[in-house]
Amino acid sequence: MGKTGPVVLTLSLGVFGIITTEMGVVGVLPRISEDLGVPPATAGWLVGVFALVVAVAGPFATLLASGVRRKTVLATALAVFAASNAVYALTDSFPVMLAFRIVPALFHPVFFAVALTAATRLVPPERATRAATTVFAGVTLGFAFGVPATSYLAEHLSLAAAFWFGAGANLLALLGILALFPAMPAEQRLSYGSQVRILRRPRLWLAVSAVVFVFAAMFSVYGYFAEYLERVTGLGGSTVGALLMAFGIVMVLGNLLFGRLLERDPVRTVTAFPVLCVVVYALVRVVGPWAVPMVLAVLLWGAVHSGGLVVSQTWLARDARDAPEFGNSLFISFSNLGITLGTAVGGLVVAGFGARQLPWAGAAFALAALAAVLLRRRLGPEPAGEGVPVPVAEPAALPS
């Protein structure tokens, strides 16, 4: 990528910092619960509220930022994330921490949208896909290294040290943006008003429902990853941190596998995904109390979990081909709505029935996703002229 390579890598570092901030709390929820004196289900809202804000505000925040210089938008978003991590490290008040989960969530979708657009504009057209892939490699790296590093630091140093790590990652990316990112004029985005006609399609709403249920299935269990392994399997914090890292590394391989399966047969792959989730969650439920089988189950879990991103986006994109940008905003919003729903229900299950029963919540959401996919398949292909094919992009966020 020549001279633009360091810029694109800096954008990827920014994505890494944001994902570490967003999902790093998953591995430290037990510490937050203990240190701040709140129940585990209440602490889980640090994940759910973030996702809910992204779901509700994402398209509007991105549109509002469309007239601002890209460098300013990117730098401001990273500064907000760095400052929010500093607040997490310094506060002993759960309401304050919760408030500073809301603020950066407003900037999350804006950063992702602008970073992707900027990366593809900085390189020749034939390298645009590679640039976008490089930027969003930060998502996988955030899961593979950022989340477990946060957990490790919280266990071996302090909860504050874990959040200072997140602040440092975002601050480093901010300095890179200020030093390397070129002055690029804002490019006015088209209004979503001309694209909302796709919302009249029953096919689209079935696809949207599948996205919500898939992400609810994923995060009703993953949102309490540390809670399950500590309470049910009896593992220590350092072991949980190592398993979080293994989970993220396996996600890299799983994402590649599901990408190839989607290229060969997207409909069957999408249909098979919720079935695989049910199988994995049944396995996690059965072997939960035993450490060695649970470690092996975690690896399989990570491989399947990774497919939810690309599978969901591919499925929704099929019914939004003539409005891909608006369709992508729907994916970001409703995937994060699914995360909110999943973490909320998971928290209720933990509070009411104990962590051991979490896999049943994930399996129930996966079956709901399967039902939505099968109903969408019954409607058949979209009518002629309803859309034009476009390439399926890389996942635009975790969604949050």
| E strand or H helix that includes residue 155 | helix 147-156
| E strand or H helix that includes residue 330 | helix 324-353
Supply the pTM of this predicted model: 0.72
Report pLDDT digits (tens) over 36-79: 888 887 888 888 888 888 878 877 776 677 667 888 889 999 99
Report pLDDT digits (tens) over 280-295: 999 999 998 999 999 9
Of 179, 188, 180, 149, nearest to 165 (Cα)? 149
Yes or no: say if 385 and 247 are a contact pair by the CB < 8 Å rule: no
Yes or no: say if 232 and 288 are a contact pair by the CB < 8 Å rule: yes
Q: What is the DSSP secondary structure assignment for residue 233, as one 8-state letter?
A: S
Residue 278 has φ and ψ, to the nearest 5°, of -60, -45
Instruction: Name the stretches of the chain with pLDDT < 50.
Output: 1, 188, 190, 384-385, 387-400
- Quick check: helix, strand or coil at residue 157? coil
